[in-house]
Amino acid sequence: SQTQGRLDSFFKVI
């Protein structure tokens, strides 16, 4: 099954 990803895990906070 699939779960919704979050952008925090792809893009770094600057």
Q: Which two tokens stand for residue 10?
A: 């792809």
Q: How near is the Cβ of 9 to other proteins at its closest, in Å? A: 7
Applying CB under 8 A, the site for other proteins has a residue count of 14
Distance CA 2, CA 5 (A): 9
Question: Binding marks (x or -) toward other proteins, 1..14, rule CB under 8 A?
Answer: xxxxxxxxxxxxxx
8 DSSP 8-state letter? G
Q: How near is the Cβ of 7 to other proteins at its closest, in Å? A: 5
Binding residues for other proteins, per CB under 8 A?
1-14
